[in-house]
């Protein structure tokens, strides 16, 4: 099918990044959120990030202006119904995602493809609660969306071939690379990445190393661009914990038990960069380890 108009549900960090890359690729985008302030902040972020691309010579000012003109916003989720593709990019909570798809159901066009940007939740289970499980897929972008090249495509048990082919073509048009994953907890990237972060937290919890020594060891010893605890702060400790819980519950293997220290930080509201404190304190001029 020919996908031209795209609806994005959720104007947060992932949603505004997804709207950004789709608009640059020539798609008409409707960005939805429940808060007007979030939509205004998203447009400001998209403008700033595109301007950075202009300053680096990656796009022209004219291309930027045309892309921004292709993005509209709405507080009414019903307006997304007639689009060709809808990408849910709300918080990583299954009950919220189910409510979003339920609210969309009366307004959807027969051909509309539904997708979720979930990083770990069962696509088959999300799809089963809609009226079109054959037209439902996992469409997992990496953060930050305008920079990261990978998109995970996750088929649910009922997803049909034309739906997969249509989304693969979208990824190609975005200039990104698709990686196909079966629908098992956390898919590919987070199945490998988040347990590594959890093990780094255990290494801190057990006193094997400090925050700075653990991050330095992985950056210089494994050539990682960012240490695992620094990366956890960037992702959000609540998101890391949610994915570990999905792995632990879904695979019933004790090797996926979330570290108690990770749970403690989340309970304290120390979620990383977005809350200004996590494994580092970001309230000063330079980040300072909290342990």
38 is catalytic: no
274 among annotated binding-site residues: yes
Tally of CB atoms within 10 A around 69: 10
d(CA 83, CA 140): 19
d(CA 17, CA 40): 14
196 among annotated binding-site residues: no
Catalytic residue among 20, 140, 198, 230: 140
11 among annotated binding-site residues: yes
120 is catalytic: no
The pairing of beta strand 280-281 with beta strand 288-289: antiparallel
97 among annotated binding-site residues: yes
49 among annotated binding-site residues: no
140 is catalytic: yes
Catalytic residue among 16, 38, 116, 119: 119
221 among annotated binding-site residues: no
33 among annotated binding-site residues: yes
Catalytic residue among 117, 122, 152, 181: 152
107 is catalytic: no
198 among annotated binding-site residues: no
143 among annotated binding-site residues: yes
92 among annotated binding-site residues: yes
Active site residues: 119, 140, 152, 190
Known binding residues are 10-15, 33, 92, 97, 119, 143, 274
Known binding residues for NAD(+) are 10-15, 33, 92, 97, 119, 143, 274
């Amino acid at each position: 099918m020919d996908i031209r108009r795209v609806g994005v549900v959720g104007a947060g960090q992932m949603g505004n990044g997804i709207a950004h890359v789709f608009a640059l690729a020539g798609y008409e985008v409707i960005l939805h959120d429940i808060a007007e302030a979030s939509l205004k902040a998203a447009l400001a972020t998209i403008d700033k990030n595109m301007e950075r691309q202009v300053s680096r010579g990656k796009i022209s000012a004219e291309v930027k202006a045309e892309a921004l003109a292709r993005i509209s916003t709405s507080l009414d989720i019903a307006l997304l119904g007639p689009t060709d593709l809808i990408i849910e990019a709300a918080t990583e909570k299954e009950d919220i995602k189910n409510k979003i798809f339920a609210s969309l159901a009366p307004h959807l066009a027969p051909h509309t493809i539904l997708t979720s940007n979930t990083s770990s939740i069962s696509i088959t289970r999300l799809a089963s609660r809609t009226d079109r499980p054959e037209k439902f897929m996992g469409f997992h972008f990496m953060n930050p969306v305008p920079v990261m090249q990978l998109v995970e495509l996750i088929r649910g048990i009922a997803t049909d071939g034309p739906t997969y082919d249509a989304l693969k073509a979208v990824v190609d048009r975005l200039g990104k690379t698709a990686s196909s994953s079966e629908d098992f907890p956390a898919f590919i990237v987070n199945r490998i990445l988040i347990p590594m972060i959890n093990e780094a937290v255990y290494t801190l919890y057990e006193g094997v190393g400090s925050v700075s020594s653990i991050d330095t060891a992985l950056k210089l010893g494994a050539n990682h661009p960012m240490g695992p605890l620094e990366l956890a702060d960037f992702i959000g400790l609540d998101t890391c914990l949610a994915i570990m819980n999905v792995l632990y519950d879904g695979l019933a293997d004790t090797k996926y038990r979330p570290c108690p220290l990770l749970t403690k930080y989340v309970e304290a509201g120390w979620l990383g960069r977005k809350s200004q404190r996590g494994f580092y304190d970001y309230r000063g001029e330079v980040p300072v380890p909290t342990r």
